[in-house]
């Protein structure tokens, strides 16, 4: 069948399905970190459920278990691990089993998290159960995400953008769910239960969307193309998706058309450009030598971000007197503001790419972000024993968060865009895999450093 005879995506059902699947892949991570006050309240001990989703007190519960740090670390380590194991899983486990099995496992584990809201569990066992859930949920999310990237390799690039846009809105969705739960007026326990049921509904909807794909003619037409090349298609998709990281999406831009590989499923081998046929297996070391500085910048950007967000930023409280503003300060000024501005920063690369790949200004801008570490540590964090509070007013924290989030989104997207421009077309596949690995490495390094920075407070 010629490409011109391809069926149409009736009512954009396939596009909507991939958007919801993108949203579902990152709902678990965002709902866990946005609910840090709830978990700290539960771990504080007796009567903690009265302080779960919000409190009028300017002092949050004592984080004796270092929950902020552990939830970040145990969320990112599975991503790093399964990035390395993904090619093995591709060969051993069928795609449908990986995707549907991961979605069902995530749903069951999040249902357990919601059920624990109503169960009186002592802090120690509650912490252990929660950390185990975080590890396994994010492990299945890593498998799910890699598998869906493989499917997107057979689809038109528009659907990659829709998938990434869904991922980009997951954090905003979680922050809004937290604010609405707190503003609902019901008791804290019911509010927490409603909050954790929300991602369960989202995952269930993702399952329905995935199951519906096989019944949609448009999806079946593309997803049935050349199944034997799935592992290669996933890596090619990763090369195309270098325009955004695994948590957010940005619109397509004509400027970036040259950054993607031609993934036309109808193209026969003899139609592939000659330069793409050369060196079918380019050297990883050769590609690394070309992109090492860009990859290092990506690692440093995420190292800075995850070292303070959310481990330090979630501890910052309003300096105003107890009231509605102090209650909503952290969900709005930390989580909602970060996700909105981060998405905006990623979107900026749709209109311009600056600095260019040969500029030494990019490493300088990336290194300047390390200033955010002391700036956030010197904000209004009541739980401190070493450092003073130099920026007590709320305006300081809001300003720092605006610049922090926008710079994170822009520099992450920029480094992802520049990497494929530094290699030959047939090397972009390897460059995509390498940048995906360094992305996960940066997340893990930042999560590990968060323990040190919190201990220095």
Q: From 149, 134, 13, select the one nearest 76 (Cα to Cα).
A: 134
Question: How many Cβ atoms sit within 10 Å of the Cβ of residue 317?
Answer: 21
* pLDDT value for 352: 85
pTM of the predicted structure, to 2 decimals:
0.80
| DSSP H or E stretch at residue 28 | helix 13-34
* pLDDT value for 13: 93
* pLDDT value for 429: 73
Radius of gyration, alpha carbons of the chain: 22
Name the least confident of 38-47, 191-200, 219-228, 367-376. 219-228
Q: What is the pLDDT of residues 90-100, one digit of tens each?
A: 778 888 899 99
Q: Residue 159: exposed, middle, or buried by beta-carbon count in 10 A (0-12, 13-18, 19+)?
A: buried
Tell me, yes or no, whether 7 lies in a domain: no
Query: Is residue 159 pLDDT above 80, yes or no?
Result: yes
E strands within 256-343?
none
Tokens of 393: 């007013």
- Say how far apart CA 28 and CA 198 lie, in whole Å: 10
> What's the rounded mean pLDDT across residues 159-168?
84
Tell me, yes or no, whether 275 lies in a domain: yes
Taken as a whole, the chain contains a residue count of: 457
Q: Which domain does 350 fall in, by range?
A: 12-456
Query: Is residue 243 pLDDT above 70, yes or no?
Result: no
Query: Is residue 249 pLDDT above 50, yes or no?
Result: no
DSSP letter at 140?
H
Q: What are phi and psi of 69, to 5 degrees?
A: -70, -45
Tell me, yes or no, whether 2 lies in a domain: no
Query: Is residue 112 pLDDT above 70, yes or no?
Result: yes
Q: What is the pLDDT of residues 199-220, one digit of tens each?
A: 999 999 999 999 999 889 898 8
Are residues 446 and 305 in contact, defined by beta-carbon separation less than 8 angstroms? yes
Tokens of 245: 């990281």
Q: What is the pLDDT of residues 18-36, one digit of tens each?
A: 999 999 998 988 999 898 8
Name the least confident of 41-50, 254-263, 314-323, 345-354. 254-263
* pLDDT value for 63: 66
What is the overall mean pLDDT for the chain?
A: 82
DSSP letter at 61?
P
Tell me, yes or no, whether 4 lies in a domain: no
Question: How many Cβ atoms sit within 10 Å of the Cβ of residue 421?
Answer: 18
Phi-psi domain of 249 (left: phi exceeds 0; alpha: psi -120 through 50; beta: other): beta
Tell me, yes or no, whether 6 lies in a domain: no
Are residues 348 and 88 in contact, defined by beta-carbon separation less than 8 angstroms? no
Tell me, yes or no, whether 109 lies in a domain: yes
Domain holding 419: CATH number?
Answer: 1.20.1250
Tell me, yes or no, whether 162 lies in a domain: yes
Q: What is the pLDDT of residues 230-239, one digit of tens each?
A: 444 444 444 4
- Say how far apart CA 240 and CA 139 lie, in whole Å: 23
Give me the number of domains the chain comprises.
1
Are residues 273 and 258 in contact, defined by beta-carbon separation less than 8 angstroms? no
Are residues 48 and 41 in contact, defined by beta-carbon separation less than 8 angstroms? yes
Tokens of 239: 């090369």
Query: Is residue 46 pLDDT above 50, yes or no?
Result: no
- Say how far apart CA 24 and CA 42 lie, in whole Å: 26
Tell me, yes or no, whether 116 lies in a domain: yes
* pLDDT value for 244: 41
What percentage of the chain reaches a pLDDT higher than 90? 46
Give the confidence band of 57 by pLDDT, cuts at 50, 70, 90: very low
């Amino acid at each position: 069948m010629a490409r011109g005879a391809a069926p149409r995506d009736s009512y954009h059902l396939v596009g909507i399905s991939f958007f919801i699947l993108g949203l579902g892949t990152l709902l678990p991570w965002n709902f866990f970190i946005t609910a840090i006050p709830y978990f700290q309240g539960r771990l504080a001990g007796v009567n903690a459920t009265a302080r779960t989703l919000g409190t009028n007190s300017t002092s949050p519960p004592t984080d004796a278990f270092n929950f902020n740090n552990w939830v970040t670390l145990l969320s990112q380590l599975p991503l790093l691990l399964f990035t390395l194991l993904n090619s093995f899983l591709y060969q051993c486990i069928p795609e449908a089993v990986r995707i549907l099995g991961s979605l069902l496992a995530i749903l069951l584990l999040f249902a357990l998290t919601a059920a624990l809201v109503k169960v009186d569990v002592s802090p120690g066992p509650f912490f252990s159960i929660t950390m185990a859930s975080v590890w396994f949920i994010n492990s299945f999310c890593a498998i799910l995400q890699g598998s869906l990237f493989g499917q997107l390799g057979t689809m038109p690039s528009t659907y990659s953008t829709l998938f990434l846009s869904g991922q980009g809105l997951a954090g905003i969705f979680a922050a809004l769910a937290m604010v609405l739960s707190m503003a609902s007026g019901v008791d804290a326990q019911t509010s927490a239960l409603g909050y954790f049921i929300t991602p369960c509904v989202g995952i269930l909807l993702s399952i329905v969307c995935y199951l519906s794909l096989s019944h949609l003619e448009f999806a079946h037409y593309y997803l049935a193309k050349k199944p034997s090349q799935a592992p290669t298609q996933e890596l090619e998709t990763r090369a195309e998706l270098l325009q955004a990281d695994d948590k957010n999406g940005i619109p397509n831009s004509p400027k970036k058309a040259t950054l993607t590989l031609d993934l036309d499923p109808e193209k026969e081998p003899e139609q592939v450009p000659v330069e793409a046929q050369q060196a079918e297996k380019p050297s990883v070391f050769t590609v690394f030598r070309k992109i090492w500085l860009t990859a290092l910048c990506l690692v440093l950007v995420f190292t800075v971000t995850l070292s303070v967000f959310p481990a330090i930023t979630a501890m910052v409280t309003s300096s105003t007197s107890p009231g509605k503003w102090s209650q909503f300060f952290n969900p709005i000024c930390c989580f909602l503001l970060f996700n909105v501005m981060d998405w905006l920063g990623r979107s900026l690369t749709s209109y311009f790419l600056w600095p260019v790949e040969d500029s030494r200004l990019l490493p300088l801008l990336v290194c300047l972000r390390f200033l955010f570490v002391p700036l956030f540590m010197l904000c209004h964090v009541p739980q401190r024993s070493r450092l003073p509070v130099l920026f007590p007013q709320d305006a300081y924290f809001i300003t720092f968060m605006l610049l922090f989030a926008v710079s994170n989104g822009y520099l992450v997207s920029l480094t992802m865009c520049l990497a494929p421009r530094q290699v030959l077309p047939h090397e972009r596949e390897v460059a995509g895999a390498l940048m995906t690995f360094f992305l996960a490495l940066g997340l893990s390094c930042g999560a590990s450093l968060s323990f040190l920075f919190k201990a220095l407070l």
